[in-house]
Amino acid sequence: MSRINKYSTVPLYCQLKQILLEKIETGEYAEESKIPSEQDLCEQYGISRPTVRQAINELTNNGQLYKLKGKGTFVSKRKSSVHINDYSGFTDSILDSLDPEKKDVLSVSSVTSDEFIKLKEVFAIKNENYDFTCITYVNKRNDEVFSVNTSYIPKSLFPEIADDITGKKPSFEILRGKYPLVPCSSKSTLEVIYTDQVDAGLLQVQPGQALIEVCNTLYSKSGQAVEYIVSKYRADKCRLMFENYKK
């Protein structure tokens, strides 16, 4: 669609939205480039300013465009794709990472299963109170944070993991002598959540913005849980891709 059809049953603002989206997808409107002004779009397509404004506002609310006061409206950076078929649950793992020393670690701390009850369920803890190393780090694209990840690893299995991560030890050193505990399977859950004050600060967004939360439990060959990872992706910066085939 490259022209507005005033005789169509499709609302004019929807037609303009589609035109703008096509120009973004084809690269005619490149990332970070300024789109024509509201007045220019009115004249180009012969439609009213309220119609143009509604189309732009909806694209802005959806994250395809953003406004800079006094400068105009610009094309947002493309979302990073998270391909579901490739997302094995190991993607954000510390233990399974080839280069854990290269992760952008924000903090390394301790937490107990009594403090974070979910760990009791994940690691099948009954009456005991286990200690875990809690490692929080971010993923970036073009220096912009698009996800924050927190990994929980039992200290009973990896007592030196905190020192290993802060000391930027490579994977083979972290797993030396720990091969029975190397992750080989995972279980994942996905849901949409909304940012609290802490997440908002880490992800550089306003509180209440939608996130895609993926929780992964990694297991060794024996079926023992060895790591639990909570990954929170900015919904305005990431999209999930599904691809399936009939057998």
> Cα–Cα distance between 129 and 126 in angstroms, integer?
8
The DSSP code sequence of the chain is --S--TTSSS-HHHHHHHHHHHHHHTTSS-TTPBPPPHHHHHHHHT--HHHHHHHHHHHHHTTSEEEETTTEEEEPPPPEEEETTT--S-TT-STT-S-GGGSEEEEEEEEETTTSTHHHHHTT--S---EEEEEEEEEEETTEEEEEEEEEEETTT-TTHHHHHHTT--HHHHTTT-GGG---EEEEEEEEEE--HHHHHHHTS-TT-EEEEEEEEEE-TTS-EEEEEEEEEETTTEEEE------
Q: Tell whether 1 is covered by a domain.
A: no
Q: Are residue 207 and residue 112 in the same domain, yes or no?
A: yes
How does strand 238-241 pair with strand 225-234?
unpaired
Q: Are residue 139 and residue 202 in the same domain, yes or no?
A: yes
Q: Are residue 135 and residue 176 in the same domain, yes or no?
A: yes
Q: Domain of 47?
A: 12-75
Do 219 and 184 form a contact (C-beta atoms < 8 A)? yes
Amino acid at 241: M
Tens-level pLDDT at each residue, the chain (247 residues): 468 898 889 899 999 999 998 888 888 999 889 999 999 999 999 999 999 999 998 888 777 888 888 899 998 876 555 544 445 456 678 998 888 888 899 999 999 999 999 999 999 999 899 999 999 999 887 777 888 999 999 999 999 999 999 999 988 899 988 889 999 888 888 888 888 888 888 888 778 888 889 899 999 999 999 999 999 988 877 766 655 555 5
pTM higher than the cut 0.85: no
Write down the pLDDT at residue 65: 87
Q: Tell whether 7 is covered by a domain.
A: no
Q: Are residue 151 and residue 237 in the same domain, yes or no?
A: yes
Q: Are residue 136 and residue 114 in the same domain, yes or no?
A: yes
Write down the pLDDT at residue 88: 47
Residue 135's nearest CA partner among 105, 158, 169 is 105
Q: Are residue 102 and residue 194 in the same domain, yes or no?
A: yes
CA distances to 142, 148, 205 from 198, rounded to whole Å, are 22, 11, 10
Q: Which of 30, 59, 75 is the last residue of a domain?
A: 75
Write down the pLDDT at residue 86: 47
Q: Tell whether 168 is covered by a domain.
A: yes
Q: Tell whether 40 is covered by a domain.
A: yes
